[in-house]
Each structure stands twice: as C-alpha cells, then as structure tokens.
Copies of this chain bind each other. A is one copy, B any other.
Amino acid sequence: MKALVLASGGVDSTTCLALAVQQYGAENVLALSLFYGQKHYKELQAAQQVAAYYQTQHLQLDLSDIFKFGDNALLANSAQEIPKTSYADQLEQQNGPVNTYVPFRNGLFISAAASIAIAQDCSLLYYGAHRDDAAGAAYPDCSEEFQQAMAEAIWQGSGGQLRLEAPFIQDTKAGVVARGLALQVPYQLTWSCYVGQELPCGICGTCRDRLAAFRQNGVDDPLIYPQAEQEENK
C-alpha cells in the first residue's frame, strides 16, 4: 500500500506524515508540497526538512498560476495585510471566510494530489485537516462535510483506485499535537507562521493557534519566538 501525504511543513501535515510513515513505512510514503504564491518559502523549506528527516520521497509543484485571478492576504501579489488577531476575533468582524481563505485552496490541492497519487500508484491520500480549522466557517474547505464529499468525489472519479483520508478531521489542533508528541514528531523542523520573517511572529492567527495547541498539551513549542511575544503567550 502506497500513500501520498499533502505536506505543507506545518504542524498538522507533519503529524499526518508521521502517522503515514508509522503505518506504511517511509519507503511507501510520498510527501507532496504545493506552492501557491505565498509571500514566503519558509513552509516549503520546512516541508523539505521534514521529508529529509523521515527519508520519504518529496515531490513539489507550483500551483501559483491558478491563484493569480484572485486577491488574498496570503499571496505575494496581494496588498492585503495578514491579520494580527485570532481567528475568533476575525470571524466576529465579518461574515464568512477569513481574508486568509484562498478560494477552494484545499479542494484544488487535494485534486492535484489525487491526480499525482493515481499516477504514482498510491491507493491512499492523506491530509491534515482538523476540526478547529473549520470552526466558525473560517476555512470551509477544512470541514468534515467537505472532506466526506471530496473523498466520495475522488473514489468515484478515480474509478475506485484512490481513497482520501483526513485522520484528524474530528480532532482539535491540540489533539493533533498530542498524537504528534506520542509519535515523536520533530516539531522544531516545522513552520506555521503566515508572515515568514526570520522568527515566527507569534501574533498571526496561525502562530496563536499553534502556541495554544502546545500549551494545552503542557509542553513548550520548540520554535523560538521574539522575546516580547514569548512573554505574552506564557
């Protein structure tokens, strides 16, 4: 059984990769990283290091052309700023998806991964969506309803060759970290911050989520944050 894992270099997908390696062996796991025109390459560098750590094959693909038709705070072609507040606060200020929602990004990533997975004779496609990402409709393409429909579309559209699974879809982010800690995931190699400076900013939505997830597990995030933010997040 060969598995392809969507590997962004972040906490969730790295935990997903660790799980796949444990279940199927590194030689049967392919990591796939997709670039979509982000403002920085830190995530991809993290994904490369994680794949090197686990000694899995690592494929990379640039999908940024597809997103050139839209505007989104995550993209290098956008003048929008990445919000420095939590997702909960962002959701209170507006209806529907947050401004770091890239339209149907996960749908597109999963479809591209499905095509490559079939071409590479994989019968399983893993990705790291979890319950917290979908909360309050922040990222509708992380919800369980989306995951189930997409899994059915891939099963039908591949003629029964490929199964899509999101093993953490019912877990919180803290739950994902708990599973990763048990698997001894090298979280010091991962990257989550949307901003992409030398150190993670500690104040964007994804930094806040990450820090909270480690804190809820009673451990420190192994990444180093600027001193001011480190004090605040204690």
Contact = CB atoms under 8 A, between A and B. Distances in A.
Given A108-B114, A108-B115, A153 B158 contact: no
A116 interface: yes
For chain A, what secondary structure do more than half of its interface residues adopt (helix, strand, loop), or is it mixed?
Answer: helix
Interface residues of A, number: 47
Interface in A70-120: 70-71, 96-97, 102-108, 110-112, 114-116, 118-120
Given A111-B107, A153-B146, A154-B107, A70 B116 contact: yes
Interface string A127-155: 00000000001001101011001101111
Identical subunits present: 2
A104 B163 CA distance: 13
B154 A152 contact: no
A59 interface: yes
Contacts of A59: 69
A157 B153 contact: no
Interface of A: 59, 61-63, 65-67, 69-71, 96-97, 102-108, 110-112, 114-116, 118-120, 137, 140-141, 143, 145-146, 149-150, 152-162
